[in-house]
Amino acid sequence: MNELIRRASSHVNSPFAALTVCKSPLNRPVYSPLLKSSQRSLSRIAPLHPNRKTPPPPLPPLPPKKKSKKELELEEKWEEEIIEDIGGINEWLVLSEGEKNDLKRSKRDREMGFCED
């Protein structure tokens, strides 16, 4: 505890700086009544033990919500409409996954009324 008080009082603007044991002009230590109260308040602080447990890791993100049967049917219908719009299944198979996802997203936005095209 004395080490903790010494370290706290060594800082420039420390409130404990005036509370430390001082030497008087007669070379005798002068004890402040506030020193004992500061030691008492510091002793109430729980020490950090070297064997303390680390906090548990954060919970993983929640899995995405499962789509209902109606939503799956609606997405399948939209995909069929996209295939017809671009010219058939052969053109659909040539597209990359990113392009397919972009087309599906734009179709969903148009159908749900999120964008005005």
For the stretch 25-53, pLDDT in tens is: 566 666 666 666 666 777 777 666 777 77
Predicted local distance difference test score (pLDDT) of residue 72: 93
3-state secondary structure of 81: helix
In a domain, 82, yes or no: yes
In a domain, 54, yes or no: no
For the stretch 86-113, pLDDT in tens is: 888 888 888 899 999 999 999 888 888 8
- Residues 6 or more apart whose Cβ sits within 8 Å of residue 82: 92, 103, 104, 107
Q: Which residue, among 114, 62, 57, 109, has the nearest Cα to 82 in the 3D structure?
A: 109
Question: 39 near 1, Cβ under 8 Å?
Answer: yes
- Are 39 and 73 in a shared domain? no
Counting the structural domains of the chain, the total is: 2
In a domain, 27, yes or no: yes
In a domain, 58, yes or no: no
pLDDT band at 57 (very low <50, low <70, confident <90, very high): very high
In DSSP terms, 76 is beta-bridged to none
In DSSP terms, 22 is beta-bridged to 30
Mean pLDDT in the chain?
78
In a domain, 49, yes or no: no
Rg, C-alpha atoms of the chain: 36
Q: Output the pTM of the full model.
A: 0.44
In a domain, 13, yes or no: yes
Sign, CA dihedral 113-85-70-105, equals negative
Pseudo-torsion of CA 90, 96, 102, 104, nearest 10°? 40
Domain that holds residue 80: 69-112
In a domain, 55, yes or no: no
In a domain, 37, yes or no: yes
